[in-house]
Chain A
């Protein structure tokens, strides 16, 4: 399935069905990540329930140093 993650087209592995599985599959520490799914912010507790569809637009952001 093709989706867009952080502005880049990506092909998801078959077994990745939800946002929760996407984060785990990318090897990311879920703490302090924020996910926007098709322009809607998804709270952490809702990640397991959000099924990813083809052509979804997913932004995954975290905090970094800045002035």
Chain B
């Protein structure tokens, strides 16, 4: 079945986006990106550390991948805009994951500052993917401002707790016209599959893959789960009911008719 995700002017065949944080090394990260079949990967921007190895992470990103720079480290809209401009000057293109976080314990996004950054960066020609708490009215405004997608969290970043926000994400999928991409907290392939079955257009996974014992095989498992979930959604899986519905004929058999 032909199934592409058209987003930000691109046509993608993989609906699994993979983050590049926390990997034990650049070589294994590259193997993961290749094994996962991903076409979108996130990278961050940081002040240089003159004492660290001068390796350039972008040299390890396969050419088929679109790089999406995240604005992590930004505490308000202004800082997010500044980071996005720096990233573009670094030559990674115009795809930006807007991540504005003011809370250090749960790393929950600041929806209001994020919305401001969406507005500003769309005007500057960026293709923006806001990381957000799944709130319908904020998501609507982000869509109205020209966001390419909304990226609600499943659960706190790096927590591997799965889709704790499921009901709210489901409402976004139902109501929002731009793609909904669950980002953060997906700990197992089944979590990713659950998102796709619900009708998410894609998911973004980082920690669960990067810190797995075998990141490459975990990436493959996530890729399969995303495909399975998408196929299930696209094939129109049916809803659930409280009581049994026989799947075999219920005509009497091997006993007297009463």
Contact = CB atoms under 8 A, between A and B. Distances in A.
A43 interface: yes
Given A43-B89, A65-B21, A29 B44 contact: no
A55 interface: no
A43 B23 CA distance: 30
Contacts, number: 94
B57 A64 contact: yes
A59 interface: yes
Interface of B: 19-23, 29, 42-48, 50, 54, 56-58, 69-70, 72, 82, 85-87, 89-92, 157-158, 183-184, 204, 206-207
A61 B50 CA distance: 11
B42 A33 contact: no
B43 to A, nearest CB: 5
A61 B56 contact: no
B199 to A, nearest CB: 23
B43 A59 contact: no
The listed residue with most B CB atoms (<10 A of its CB), out of A6, A26, A27, A64, is: A64
Contact of A64 (B43, B92, B157, B204): B43
Contacts of B89: 34, 41, 43
B70 A62 contact: no
The listed residue with most B CB atoms (<10 A of its CB), out of A7, A34, A66, is: A66
A65 B23 CA distance: 8
Contacts of A62: 45-46, 48, 56, 90
Given A29-B54, A31-B56, A67-B206, A61 B91 contact: no
Contacts of A64: 43-46, 57
